[in-house]
Amino acid sequence: MDFRDYYKTLGVGSGASAGEIKSAYRKLARKYHPDVNPNNKDAERRFKEINEAYQVLGDADKRKKYDQMGADWQNGAAEDEVLRRYARAAAAEDAGPGTGAGGFSDFFERFFGGLGGGRTRSFEFGNDFPRGRGGKAPDLQAEVAITLAEAMHGAQKRITLTASDECPVCGGTGMVAKQEKRNARVIRSAEPCQNCGGSGVVHQRRTLDVTIPAGMAEGSKMRLKGQGGKGPRSELNGDLIITLRLQPDGVFSVSGRDIRCLLPVWDYEAALGAEVTAPTVGGKVALKIPAGSQGGRVMRLKGRGLPGRGKEPAGDLLYELRVLAPTDLTDEERKLMQQLAERRRARAVTDPRAEMIRD
């Protein structure tokens, strides 16, 4: 973890003006320039350090950021904070360290970006959370299957999901800060967190009790605030987004907010008219079949579909008639059916297939 004191590198104080910093840089750059010191590795290293320091202190915005992080971090009161933030940035970065900057410190690479094509990433620490993760823990997605009755009347569902939460040991940094005394000196360092393997996240099973409101249709979504990925503070938690899926029902189908049912009736019920018992979601109803009803006719019960939600009105319960002919006739019933057929032929009742016949 190479945090360099850029002021010390340029030989100026932390309160130096922009002009003083520029003057110090020019003086040192001339002294250690490779053209002046050919084949001198120490001079080459110092020249790179000087350029790195000026890239930061010579830019007002970068200098401000560097000062906020603690220019003299080894002695400053905020050094633990600096170490923790640096470790978090290291854990969050999915790209490798910069390769094109040639010798720039880890501090410079991670917080200010490399020079000359290095694969680096800049992080801004708003609310102590790297912007590389959006400043907020991620939202989680889950699907919950509900029955049609639960969609109609609402329900309490207990769901279990596996969530990627911030590691409680390292606080999501992926690194754990350490300090020890050696010969009256305090040595501070950081190492990968063993609890999360340096990833900053742990996978945990979570159980939630969810209230499903009445009237939720197929594909409806619910957002549970703060129940997604866990952030360093509760206000930075992500949300849990639940998509509801209706389980198939052997009697009913759903179209939008309407509930449909294919209702079988006997041919004589359709011909003569009848009052039949029809199913509803969780109950039954007496349904009047008008005389002369044909197969495919739709009977509608207004407002008996899925309950309305918001500006969406309640749906309807629709019965589509399916006319059935009896197949288990007794001899007497068969004779009656034959008499009916003969009488209809005697009245020259129109052939129902006449319009389909082509000459």
164-189 pLDDT, tens digit per residue, is 777 778 777 778 877 777 776 766 77
The mean per-residue pLDDT over the stretch 227-246 comes to 85
Mean per-residue pLDDT of the chain:
79
pLDDT for the residue 114: 43
Among the ranges given (67-76, 180-189, 209-218, 276-285), the one the predictor scored with the smallest mean pLDDT: 67-76
pLDDT for the residue 186: 67
pLDDT for the residue 168: 78
pLDDT for the residue 2: 52
Structure confidence by residue, pLDDT tens digits, 345-357: 999 988 888 888 8
* pLDDT over 90 (residue 342): yes
Higher pLDDT, 340 or 197: 340
Using 50, 70 and 90 to split pLDDT, how confident is the model at 107? low
* pLDDT over 70 (residue 113): no
pLDDT for the residue 28: 92
* Domains (range + CATH), the chain: 6-133 (1.10.287.110), 140-246 (2.60.260.20), 252-329 (2.60.260.20)
* pLDDT over 50 (residue 230): yes
DSSP type of residue 350: P
Higher pLDDT, 24 or 95: 24
* pLDDT over 50 (residue 14): yes
The mean per-residue pLDDT over the stretch 80-98 comes to 45
Using 50, 70 and 90 to split pLDDT, how confident is the model at 106? low
pLDDT for the residue 33: 85
pLDDT for the residue 104: 53
The mean per-residue pLDDT over the stretch 187-213 comes to 83
Higher pLDDT, 254 or 166: 254
- Percentage above 90 pLDDT, the chain: 40
pLDDT for the residue 140: 87
pLDDT for the residue 1: 42
Among the ranges given (136-145, 146-155, 196-205, 262-271), the one the predictor scored with the smallest mean pLDDT: 196-205
Higher pLDDT, 156 or 66: 156
* pLDDT over 50 (residue 87): no
Residue pair 256/217 in contact by the 8 Å Cβ criterion: yes
Structure confidence by residue, pLDDT tens digits, 63-82: 887 776 654 444 443 444 44
